[in-house]
Amino acid sequence: MKILELRLTAFGPFTDRVVNLSAGSHGLHVIFGPNEAGKSSALRALHALLYGIPGQTSDAFLHPYESLRLGGHLRLSAGDEIEFIRRKGNKGTLRALDGTRLDDRALDRFLCGVGHDQFEMFWGIDHAKLVQGGKDILEGHGDLGESLFAAGTGASHLGSLRRELDEEAETLFAPRGQKRLINQGIGLLRDIKGAQRDVLVSADEWTRHDRTLRELEARIGQLTERLQRLIREKSRLARLKRVLPLFAERDEVRRRLADLGDVVLLAPDFSKRRQDAETALHAAQQNLERAVRDLQEQEGLVATLGPTPTLAVESDAVTDLHQRLGSHRKAFSDRPALVGQRDEQRTLARRLLGELRPDLDIAGAETLRRYLGRRARIQKLASERGRLDERSDTAVRRHRDAQEQAGALARELSSLPPARGPEKLVGAIEEARRRGDAEAEREKLAQAAYRDAAQRDAAIEKLQIPAAMIDKLEHLRVPTVTAITRFERAAQALDEEARAAKSEHQRITKTMREVDATIEALRTKKAVPTEEDLAAARARRDGAFGLLRDQWEKARDVAAQALELLGHGKLIDLYPGAVTAADGVADRLRSEADRVAELAQAQEERGRLARDLEEADAAALRHQAAVGELAAEWRDAWKSVLVVPPPIHDGRVWCQDFARVLERSEAVIEARQQHDELDRWIEEQVKSLRAASTSLEATEHPAHGLSMTVATAQRLRQRIEGEERVRVEHARKTLETNQEIHDAEAAVRAAQTDLEAWQRTWHEAVGGLLHGDDPLPDDALVALDGFEKVLRAIDDAADFEVRIAGIDRDAETFRADVRALAGRLGETAAVEGGSEDAWVEGLHRRLAAVLQEDERRRLARTRFERLRTDVVRDDAANEAARLTISALREEAACGADGDLVGAEQRSADKRRYQADFDRIEKDLVRSGDGASIEELEGESVGADRDAIEVRLGANGTELLEVDRILVEARDARATAQAELRRLQGPSVASERAEDIQATLARLRGDVIRYARLRVASTLLARRIDDYRRKNQAPLLLRASTLFREVTVHSFERLEADVEDDRPILVGVRPNGARVPSHGMSGGTRDQLFFALRLAAVEASCTAGEPMPFVVDDILVQFDDDRGAAALRVLADVASRTQVVLFTHHQQVRAGAEAVTAPAMVIVHAL
């Protein structure tokens, strides 16, 4: 198959690009595209053309997905060709040139069963595959089989593929492995089966456990019953043991209660209340006595203490002065340091001022303070100055750039082609497109005319009109419709007549047959006597009588006459017979008169019918003549048209057909006229388009039709419009650049104005800051910092001054206060002469003693008041206690206080005995295990207290024993139940069975996988070996030649050798040296693979339909000589099949152009 043309209608960067690959018998086509030119897109397009545009493509950046279009023109060796369009999509992507849809498999015949994968693998090579091929040879140690098979299939990584298969298989199984999946699975299966046997529960095992359990249940039942019996007995004995002493105790308490007799029951708190009242009375008496005594003592003490002294009155003033004394002293000690600091700040201020403004003294420095107030403004102005400078610079730079851009645009304008007005061309194109696809329309008209003419001719032939008349159809004198109608009616009338006559004839003959039959029937049934019969019978009678008379009268021998008349016999004997016969006929005539009449009527009828028949025959003859006349008239009407006219009843149809023929004939003429008119129009359009094109540019027009011419013109139009767009774009840019220059100038001016305004403001801000002119921004800022320091030092000195003055003022106030106090205390003399500090100190100490004394005095008075209150309270308490005791006496019904204790004792005894009785009864109820006291008394009657203990002992021993046995039995039962429960649970064995099936399922899958891999590996090794054996000789021979060429005779040939019992490939130097693959350089190995591949491709071209061999930039690593040699070799291959070489490299293109024979080399630049 050869690709004649690859049309890049809309694909990648291409629009309506055509690569003509038709040159050469096959041709080496070098498609050259520098980077970005779309070389890779073109290569993808070639694949996409043949096998479809992939769903995800990188070639839809200019044209959207749905618009991607490719076109192609292919040819098979046998000469079959196909032209088609390829669209993007999943189905129905093939179209004919006229847009009609082609079958998806329309290309199959041209692709000869080569799928896309195989085309790419075998019929293509790129740099990566070349390098991989070389590497495979190295990795396979030049294995001959692998190398040949790889070259033969285009496959790579064959060696690693075999290894991959074997390794995959080994992960599944190894004969002596344990950790491989299959080995593991087999081991697991064995383990599970073993485990399953262990967990199987047999029927015996179950039955045994079940029986044991039942026995244990029965035994536990018996033991439990016995145990309960024992427990009941034990309980009864224990009860008796408990209640017997209680009954004895109850009897004793009952007796004592009776002994007490009647007793007043006192409240339970009576005794306490009595004791409390007695204690309270006693305490109240004592308190009263003590309080009276203390009051008298305190009264004496208060009298001994005197009034409050004056110093205590001045206590606050003294304390205040003493507290101020400390700070007074501290201020005095701080004062000298403050004086020093003040002086230091003043010196600093003077020094700094001398440095910045020697013209000013400290007082004058105050004038500087206003600048500090402007500090923010000055800083803002300083930074604004920087921005203004930068803006000015930018504006200047922008102006300069715009001017440069303007210069460049001016130069570019001079390089643009002159403007061409495409209007005429556009008009011509639009006019040419006005009628749509005119050429198709013309073709349609031609076909219509042809089809109509053919149909017309066929119809004429069917109408049997002589060929000579075809051109004179419209002049033929065909009978008019009216005439035909007349003929039809006449013929119809004749037909009807004929039908009526025939029917009449049939009726007559039928009736005649019926009449004949009637006559025949009348005659044959019994001959009807006629008048003639009667006359004959009578004549015979009368003859016989005459004969008799003759015989008798004349004695004449009448025998002979009698014989003739009557037959044999005697005349005399026969005569009566004749008489009888004549009478008989006469009788019958009379008796059968109806039948006679019927016969007569029938005969008459028949006669009439015979006449009718004759009449009918005559009418038939007349009719025949009329038919003949009509036919002659018909022929006459047609004589100018047809020799043999159609039958009358077909005449109308013939005329209708003829009318259609006439119509069609007119259509033919009209279609031809339209066709000719369109043809002329197309010619005009072509001329007009070519004229319009040529007026714009010397265009070479192919001798194609209108659509091609339109397409060519359209491309020219697009190009011109493209140029126009460039020019418009250029004009827009120039306008923009001029505007930019103008804007930049304005910016420069504005920057200047702003700078001047700034200068004025600056002067306002800093004028007079320093001696002389306005300082620069940075200087001004430095000076400001200095002034700030000067003013801060001056301020600090002032602060110190204020603090010193404060100290002096406080000292004077202190001294005045001291003197005032001394005056109040009458100690003025003590503070004379500056001894204030010592006086205050002493006074403070004295005050402490005076204050202590005064506190004692106050306490004594307070105590006296409290003691007086106590005496009143204690007296009241004494009286209350007496009243309480009196009330208690009444309650206990006692006459004297002394009886109270006895009454209390009796009440308590009765209460205690009563409580004991209740307690004992409660104990009885509690100890009685739910029985009533009466029942217990019943049970106890006659009980032997001493025997109870013995019986209890025996019962306890038996109880322990039974209980022990029962516990054992229950344990055994629990064990048996657990065992049964275990047996009853989910079937572990069935879970193991499930595990076995799961393991088998896994193993089945793994075994199939393993076997598939092993079979694949084995088959591949075998096939590689087979291929080597069958193809080694021819392939090596051809590859030798190619290798020699490509290596520029650095190697003489390739040979098979053996290494480690395995055939390998070696190169042989001209000097006979044998170089194994690993001894070759990487590039040479690549070339070795290249030679093998080409040999295989050539062999395949011979074996079947050759396919184009697509080479993608493989020569980059070849040196110049080998590159040129490789191109020669490819040119050589091109004599067997089309070779399409894609390249980015100029030197490859140049090298290809330099190749001469043997095949044609065509370079296409993208």
Site for other proteins in 145-204 (CB under 8 A): 149, 151-158, 161, 164, 173, 175, 182-183, 186, 189-190, 199-203
What is d(CA 198, CA 425) in angstroms, rounded to the nearest whole number? 100
Span from 681-689, 1019-1027, 1050-1058, 1068-1076 in contact with other proteins (CB under 8 A): 1019-1027
Cβ atoms of residues 451 and 444 within 8 Å:
no
List, edge to edge, every strand of the sheet that includes 1062-1068: 1053-1059, 1062-1068, 1074-1076
Min dist CB 1034 to other proteins, Å, is 12
Q: Classify residue 865 as exposed, middle or buried by CB count within 10 Å of its CB (0-12, 13-18, 19+).
A: exposed
- Residue whose C-alpha is closest to residue 1058's, from 1027, 1085, 1032, 1088: 1032
- For other proteins, the closer of residues 1015 and 1157 by Cβ is 1015
Instruction: Single out the residue of 96, 97, 128, 337 in contact with other proteins (rule: CB under 8 A).
Output: 128
CA-to-CA distance for 80 and 759, rounded, in angstroms? 92
Residue 30, SS3 per DSSP: strand
Q: Which string of x and - marks every residue 327-366 that binds other proteins (by CB under 8 A)?
A: ----------------------------------------
In angstroms, what is the minimal distance from the CB of 1020 to other proteins? 6
Residue with tokens 């308190």: 287
Residues whose CB falls within 8 Å of the CB of residue 376, separated by 6 or more in sequence, listed in order: none
Determine if 991 is a binding residue for other proteins (CB under 8 A).
Answer: yes
122 is a site residue for other proteins (CB under 8 A): yes
**From residue 1121, how far is each of 128, 728, 1044, 1045, 1162 by CA, in Å?**
21, 50, 13, 10, 20
What is the smallest separation between the CB atom of 956 and other proteins, expressed in angstroms? 44
Region class of 567: left (phi > 0), else alpha (psi between -120 and 50), else beta: left
Strand 2-11 and strand 14-20: the pairing is antiparallel
- Least Å distance, CB 87 to other proteins, is 16
Interface positions, 1021-1040, toward other proteins (CB under 8 A): 1022-1023, 1026-1027, 1030-1031
- Contact segment (CB under 8 A) with other proteins among 437-445, 745-753, 881-889, 1005-1013 equals 1005-1013
How far, in Å, CA of 28 to CA of 552, rounded? 156
Tell the smallest beta-carbon distance from residue 1080 to other proteins (Å).
Answer: 23
Q: Are strands 1053-1059 and 124-126 parallel, antiparallel or unpaired?
A: unpaired
Q: Measured from the CB atom, is 38 or 152 closer to other proteins? A: 152
3-state secondary structure at position 639: coil
Contact 1056, 1063 (CB under 8 A): yes
Cα–Cα separations (whole angstroms), residue 701 to 433, 695, 713, 723? 18, 13, 9, 21
Least Cβ distance, residue 194 to other proteins (angstroms):
13
Minimum CB separation from other proteins for residue 179, in Å? Answer: 14
Of these, 1001, 1037, 1058, 1116, which contacts other proteins (CB under 8 A)?
1001
Among positive and negative, which fits the CA dihedral 527, 532, 536, 538? positive
Residue from 1012, 1049, 1062, 1078 touching other proteins (CB under 8 A): that is: 1012
Which one of 114-122, 215-223, 269-277, 450-458 is the stretch in contact with other proteins (CB under 8 A)?
114-122
Stretch that binds other proteins, among 888-896, 913-921, 978-986, 1074-1082 (CB under 8 A): 978-986
Candidates 67-75, 275-283, 936-944, 989-997; binding stretch for other proteins (CB under 8 A):
989-997
Query: Binding string, 464-503, against other proteins, x = CB under 8 A?
Result: ----------------------------------------
Phi-psi region of 568 (alpha: psi -120 to 50; beta: other; left: phi over 0): beta
Query: Which one of residues 17, 39, 87, 129 is an interface residue with other proteins (CB under 8 A)?
Result: 129
Contacts of 115 (CB under 8 A, 6+ apart): none
Q: Tell which positions 1097-1136 bind other proteins, by CB under 8 A.
A: 1099-1100, 1103-1104
Q: Which of residues 46-105 bind other proteins (CB under 8 A)?
A: 55, 90
Tell me how far the alpha carbon of residue 573 is from its chain's centroid.
Answer: 142
Residue from 985, 1060, 1061, 1072 touching other proteins (CB under 8 A): that is 985
Q: Which is nearer to other proteins, 6 or 192 (CB)?
A: 192
Would you call 799 helix, strand, or coil by DSSP?
helix
Q: How many beta carbons lie within 10 A of that of residue 182, not counting itself?
A: 19
- Given the complex with other proteins, which of 206 and 638 has the nearer CB atom? 206
In the bound complex, what is the minimum distance in angstroms from residue 133's beta carbon to other proteins? Answer: 10
Per CB under 8 A, contacts with other proteins among 851-880 are none
Whichever of 425 and 1097 has its CB closer to other proteins, that residue is 1097
756 C-beta neighbours (distance < 10 Å), count:
8
> Measured between alpha carbons, how far is residue 299 from residues 291, 293, 867, 1108 in Å?
12, 10, 10, 147
- 665 or 1100, CB closer to other proteins? 1100
| Binds other proteins (CB under 8 A): choice among 996, 1048, 1056, 1160 | 996
Amino acid, single-letter form, for residue 717: R
Least separation in angstroms between CB 92 and other proteins? 13
Alpha carbon distance 1047, 726 (integer Å)? 51
**Stretch touching other proteins by CB under 8 A, among 258-266, 430-438, 659-667, 982-990:** 982-990
Compare residues 79 and 986 and give the one whose CB is closer to other proteins: 986
Q: Residue 297 and residue 751: Cα distance in Å, rounded?
A: 111
Question: Of the two residues 109 and 911, which places its CB atom closer to other proteins in the complex?
Answer: 109
Q: Which is nearer to other proteins, 134 or 775 (CB)?
A: 134
Query: Which of 18, 62, 77, 206 forms a contact with other proteins (CB under 8 A)?
Result: 206
Indicate the pairing of strand 1074-1076 with strand 1062-1068: antiparallel
Minimum distance from residue 242 beta carbon to other proteins (Å):
50
Nearest approach, Cβ of 126 to other proteins (angstroms)?
7
Count of residues interacting with other proteins (CB under 8 A): 85
Element housing 278 (H / E)? helix 270-304
For other proteins, which is the closer residue by CB, 735 or 1116? 1116
